[in-house]
Structure 1
Amino acid sequence: MTTPTRPSIADLFRSVAHAVPEREAIVHRSLRRTYAELYDRGERLAGLLAARGLGAHRERDGLQAHESGQDHLALLLHNGPEYAEACLGAFASRVAPFNVNYRYTAAELKNLFADARPAVVVYHATLAPTLADVLDELVGAPLLLQVADDSGNPLLPGALDYEEALAAAPSHGSRPATSPDDLYIIYTGGTTGMPKGTLWSQYGIWRATLGGAAFPEEVTAADVALAAAATPGRRVLGAAPFMHGAGGWQLLATLLSGGLIAIPDRVHRLDAADVCALIERERLETCALVGEAFARPVADEMERRTYDFSSVRAFVVGGGATSPGTKERLLAALGDRAVLSDGAGATETGRIIQADLTLGEKAEPGVFALTPRACVLDHARTRTLEPGEPEIGWLAAHEPLPFGYLGDPVKTAATFPVVAGRRMAVPGDLAELRADGRLVLRGRAATTINSGGEKIFAEEVERALFTHPAVRDVLVLGRPSERWGEEVVALVLLEAEADDDQLRGQAARQLARYKLPKEFVRVPEIRRSPAGKADYVWARSVVETVAKGKT
């Protein structure tokens, strides 16, 4: 089924693991796992899934763009070796893995699972209580694999202990022939509304963002393995959450190139001292940080204490805005041997714009170079813009692209239009092209707030606050934050007394903590048009006035 020049991720990892079996693949706390060990554990999980009849039931050529013919596996996990094993085991068994935000409340998890319909859930024990609250409302009874952790939570009813299940599964056996069109599902963070499952083919995502662009079109898995064996492999920091698109891509890209990914000891939150000690101890070369929320604490720690970062060749920031000052501080600590790479993209495109900075250079906020797959469409989405055209258009990317959104043909057609005979992805970022060919990113058209790398849909927060009986009207927006890039602010019109804790507590029943407003601004009215549309110009002026009053 798999053609020699279009390998699946399962094909690629198998070949790389066989080429460098004794090379270390993952380091986490005291655990050091080689490629041979990682491959064996992935194969055991694949055997377990296949033995239960899970896998692909309809081939891609018989499906529409928004359809999946495979069973789905939910990755409800913090960063750890199990995240990689579950991905690789799913790929090998033709089960499609998908990411789950471990911060979700039971209500949010219920909505996600209603859309994704997982046949398997691999989850850390600390997340078992949240998962338990939604199991009775799921369609079908998924296989539950519980990964033990420091929480000590017992197994959920009917769940299997992850380690025991792998130990009992065969390390080798009959495995289905994989296809390059087998799915890798990535759920959005809610930029276009509620999260949507983006259906990437394994070959497509490898070509787009996992390292495949470095190889010619005619390439085999053996060719990729030879290239991996010919180099010592990159040593990469795995601090960015794997449950986000960029973090998961970094994990897979590292493993498909024969590199090592080192995961900090603390995975529930960022610990800058832990991260810096890990970079020094493991002699890491590439360090990815999620915007200002990660970059600034690391810069603080690098200035507080001296670390040996002579191995570092690149800091990669993305997933949220990083201030020019923080970028300069990171580079100053590293010296002239390293580059700081800032980039952006979307779940539907991968990283498609980039700005590299070295010591002494000044960054222009929001200005990037386009990668070969990127372009800017005119506002009507009928053609690509040329450099210097005085029009703000849509940042777009061309193939390889996802097939579409799971279960949503309308949104699929809207986001992946055909422009001048070429299929494009238009996720919703506004941009313009300078005469020098560089891109100025203007931001999302949708009312989305990016706080610490987390995408927060303003209307979702508004709906949660509207459930409080004292709230007559509410408008949610983001404001600049040195710590988080942006933070959530709610303008509220109340018809009864309610303090901030009461409002926040009501919203917390439906929303993850990171989505809760940092501040509530009480106003005598919420300005709206006759059609009910919010006046965001007025709203931002109110927020700015409040901020100035505190300085």
Structure 2
Amino acid sequence: MTAGEGTVRPVAGDWNFGDLLDATAAAVPGDRPALIHGERVVSWADFDARTNRLARALLAAGLPTGARVAILARNIPEFIEIACAAFKARLSHVNINYRYTTGEIDYVLQDCQAQGLFYQAEFAELVAPLLPSLALAVQIDGGQYDAMVGEGDGRPLDITRSPEDGYLLYTGGTTGKPKGVMWRSGDARVSQLEAPTIKTVVRTMADHVAMVAENPLPGRVIPACPLMHGAGLNSSMAELVGGGTAVLLPDTRFDAERLWDEAERTRATRILIVGDVFARPMAQALQRHPGRWDLSSLRVISSAGLMWSREVKRVLVDAIPQLTLVDILGASEASGFGYAITTATSETPTGWFEPGRHTVLVEPETDRVLEADQPGEGWLARRAPFGLGYHGDPAKTAATYRRIGDEVLAIPGDMAVREADGRLRLVGRGNMVINTGGEKVFAEEVEEAMKRASGIEDAIVVGVPDPVWGRKVVALACVTDRYDAGVAQREMLAELAAYKMPKHIILLDTLPRHASGKSDYRTALTIAMRELGLETA
């Protein structure tokens, strides 16, 4: 993989996920579960052999080093097997959103110049017109895939890999076409090792093997969010290379009670979610059924990419006192900007984060990097390691991975304030700014204030065209029977300037969200326009 123009920076690490998987498989008991999906269990010995065979089959199909292999699938073991086989074969796996239309799938395949595609049978009709242009197309739940993973040499490949080997992470964003963020293995692994829950210092492969071999009780993670998004697969990979287990929920739709059932049955130690859209029904299930589940093995619930409110966190740690809740501030382009830790005895307030050790703030007007102890507001940025850039888009790469002074910083577009105590307060994304009456309003800042107000469970804020203000702030909200508009308004005004307050709050039973749990702002704007009797923007 090659960096876009302007992204040259020091090599951060010499790790390669293919090498890590080989080393881990050799160090763990072969009968330890690697993947659990309902009643199906794939042992580490089988997982290693299957991914080795699949890697050989990909190379036998003529795919050259670095070739892109796309995956169109739900949370099934094969998704992880394909990604791991790609690492082992020095290929680049590519995620595709399973909610995409044929045209959208075709766009990603063309954009990344994919040579291969693995897909589930339920998507066969969608991809049928696209298959003739591919060098390799394999239906996952079919005989060809079974032969690829079940036949042939299952031993590790005799292959020299590189930390430059990597993958493409496609992100839809809020505007425009999806963009593929290029990640090299070395950078991705070093970013994983920054997690505050990792206590053992690992600098070399010998360190890694010793850590894996000496750990008789490795972790078991449940990625409750889709693997097709970066956080889901990244959390699974992190657990697997540590010699642990990835537990995939057997249902295609999220069900909080089913999640707790699986956490109890599989003795899960960690769950990955995306904010309140997952956490709130999980908390409500615990409240409905106190004492129903034995969750004594559970140690961590981590969340990435969406607000996680204080009251929901309190329900979780009250019900499961040994829990550590980790709120992760990151992006597809770079991770580890900040962390908020909540336990039964301590907490970081919602919207505030302890900065990561590579995190800095950049003043918007001057491009000056604030000193580490200097309070102020600026673009949230971080030093290497981070993604290489956007595949095929040097202009967007240069705008996000910017050279400031003698270094390149990743600046995905979030604004934050550093308070006097050093903590960061997230303001919002630059591409979600609403210009109203000459003032700038960050949609996410208003959403967070709304969710802290009494009786408001969920909120999405958009800017609707207005002849007086240019754009006016409008909110879609889900509320409980405790909701009182006057009380909520007073509570929001205690946090927000008057010009940031929604001019209208439209009450709905459910809010439009993507499969990841993140807000679907395009659909939200369409709904707001319709409810206000306006023409679609």
Residue of structure 2 equivalent to 1:131: 127
Please list the CA deviations of residues 432-479 of structure 1 after superposition, one character each: whole Å capped at 9, or x if unmatched: 11111100110101038889xxxx9989x99xxxxxxxxxxx999883
Secondary structure of the residue aligned to 2:350 is coil
Matches within 5 A, 1:390-469: 391-447=376-432
Aligned-partner Cα distance in 2 for 1:476–1:179 = 51
Q: Does 1:146 align with 2:139?
A: yes
Kept after mapping to 2: 8 A contact 1:430/1:444: yes
User: Partner letter of residue 118 of structure 1?
Assistant: A
Kept after mapping to 2: 8 A contact 1:429/1:441: yes
Residue of structure 2 equivalent to 1:11: 19
Aligned-partner Cα distance in 2 for 1:387–1:174 = 46
Please list the CA deviations of residues 281-318 of structure 1 after superposition, one character each: whole Å capped at 9, or x if unmatched: 11111111111111111111111222111211122122
Aligned-partner Cα distance in 1 for 2:52–2:472 = 47
Residue of structure 2 equivalent to 1:204: 187
Kept after mapping to 2: 8 A contact 1:21/1:34: no
Query: TM (normalized to structure 2)?
Result: 0.77
Residue of structure 1 equivalent to 2:55: 46
**1:214 CA displacement:** 6.7
**1:228 CA displacement:** 1.1
Aligned-partner Cα distance in 2 for 1:241–1:458 = 25
Aligned-partner Cα distance in 1 for 2:399–2:330 = 18
Aligned-partner Cα distance in 2 for 1:168–1:211 = 38
**1:389 CA displacement:** 4.7
Change (3 A) 1:89 1:295: same
Residue of structure 1 equivalent to 2:529: 521
Change (3 A) 1:376 1:444: same
Residue of structure 1 equivalent to 2:153: 170
Change (3 A) 1:457 1:361: closer
Please list the CA deviations of residues 401-429 of structure 1 after superposition, one character each: whole Å capped at 9, or x if unmatched: 22211111111111111223122100000
Residue of structure 2 equivalent to 1:119: 115
Kept after mapping to 1: 8 A contact 2:168/2:181: yes
Residue of structure 1 equivalent to 2:324: 339
**1:48 CA displacement:** 0.7
Kept after mapping to 2: 8 A contact 1:381/1:419: no
Find the partner of 2:64 among 52, 55, 72.
55
Q: Identify the range of structure 1 (206-215 vs 429-438) with the bigger mean alpha-carbon deviation.
A: 206-215
Residue of structure 2 equivalent to 1:307: 293
Find the partner of 1:276 among 233, 255, 260.
260
Residue of structure 2 equivalent to 1:31: 40
Kept after mapping to 2: 8 A contact 1:394/1:430: yes
Secondary structure of the residue aligned to 2:338 is strand
Kept after mapping to 2: 8 A contact 1:41/1:171: yes
Kept after mapping to 2: 8 A contact 1:327/1:340: yes
Q: Gapped runs of 5+ residues in structure 2?
A: 1-10, 434-442, 448-459, 480-501, 505-511, 513-518
Matches within 5 A, 1:244-323: 244-266=229-251, 268-305=252-289, 306-323=292-309
User: Partner letter of residue 310 of structure 1?
Assistant: S
Count of equivalent residues: 456
Aligned-partner Cα distance in 2 for 1:338–1:292 = 17
Kept after mapping to 2: 8 A contact 1:50/1:175: no
Residue of structure 2 equivalent to 1:238: 223
Residue of structure 1 equivalent to 2:168: 185
Residue of structure 2 equivalent to 1:78: 74
Kept after mapping to 1: 8 A contact 2:202/2:208: no
Change (3 A) 1:216 1:279: closer
Q: Gapped runs of 5+ residues in structure 1?
A: 57-69, 149-154, 463-473, 484-488, 492-503, 505-511, 528-533, 535-551
Aligned-partner Cα distance in 2 for 1:252–1:109 = 24
Secondary structure of the residue aligned to 1:346 is coil
Aligned-partner Cα distance in 2 for 1:203–1:390 = 33
Change (3 A) 1:344 1:312: same
User: Partner letter of residue 300 of structure 2?
Assistant: A
User: Partner letter of residue 304 of structure 1?
Assistant: R
Aligned-partner Cα distance in 1 for 2:375–2:362 = 12
User: Partner letter of residue 519 of structure 1?
Assistant: I
Residue of structure 2 equivalent to 1:228: 212
Find the partner of 2:342 among 357, 368, 390.
357
Aligned-partner Cα distance in 2 for 1:27–1:54 = 30
Residue of structure 1 equivalent to 2:6: none
Kept after mapping to 1: 8 A contact 2:73/2:119: yes
Secondary structure of the residue aligned to 2:426 is strand
Kept after mapping to 1: 8 A contact 2:461/2:474: no
Aligned-partner Cα distance in 2 for 1:368–1:259 = 28
**1:360 CA displacement:** 5.3
User: Partner letter of residue 160 of structure 2?
Assistant: A
**1:134 CA displacement:** 4.0
**1:205 CA displacement:** 0.4
Aligned Cα root-mean-square deviation (Å) = 3.4
Aligned-partner Cα distance in 2 for 1:476–1:106 = 35
**1:482 CA displacement:** 5.0
Aligned-partner Cα distance in 2 for 1:514–1:381 = 30
